[in-house]
């Protein structure tokens, strides 16, 4: 990582690591309009929702819901 004047960007892509991620391929991923919720559908037959919590420069995810289905969840 590079920085100017000692400042560095620790997360330049604004990526997040979620707790309890899908166990198989993710088919779709969507943030809520305010960016505080993330929903993923996947081939493991689950729809998952996480709350993205920010405090200063720290970010954390909190698993909110996981709903199982009989088939993989695909959306268009």
Task: Concatenate the DSSP letters of all residues of 7-33 into one string.
Answer: EE-S-TT-----SS--SS-EEEEEE-T
In a domain, 6, yes or no: no
In a domain, 55, yes or no: yes
**Would you say how long the chain is, in residues?**
76
The percent of residues in the chain predicted with pLDDT above 70, rounded, is 79
Q: Average model confidence (pLDDT) for the chain?
A: 81
Q: What is the span of the domain harbouring residue 54?
A: 17-68
Q: Calculate mean pLDDT across residues 17-32.
A: 87
In a domain, 30, yes or no: yes
Res 33 pLDDT > 90: yes
Res 13 pLDDT > 70: no
Please choose, from the candidates 65, 55, 63, 56, the residue with its C-alpha nearest in 3D space to the C-alpha of residue 17: 63
In a domain, 64, yes or no: yes
pLDDT at 8: 52
In a domain, 26, yes or no: yes
pTM value is 0.73
In a domain, 74, yes or no: no
In a domain, 40, yes or no: yes
Res 2 pLDDT > 60: no
Structural domain total, the chain: 1
In a domain, 3, yes or no: no
Dist CA 55 CA 32 (whole Å): 18
pLDDT at 55: 83
Please choose, from the candidates 16, 22, 11, 12, the residue with its C-alpha nearest in 3D space to the C-alpha of residue 36: 16
């Amino acid at each position: 990582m590079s920085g100017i004047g000692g400042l560095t960007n620790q997360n330049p892509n604004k990526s997040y690591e979620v707790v309890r991620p899908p166990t198989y391929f993710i088919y779709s991923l969507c943030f809520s309009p305010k960016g505080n919720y993330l929903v993923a559908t996947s081939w493991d037959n689950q729809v998952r929702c996480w709350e993205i919590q920010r405090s200063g420069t720290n970010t954390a995810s909190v698993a909110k819901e996981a709903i199982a289905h009989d088939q993989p969840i695909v959306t268009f």
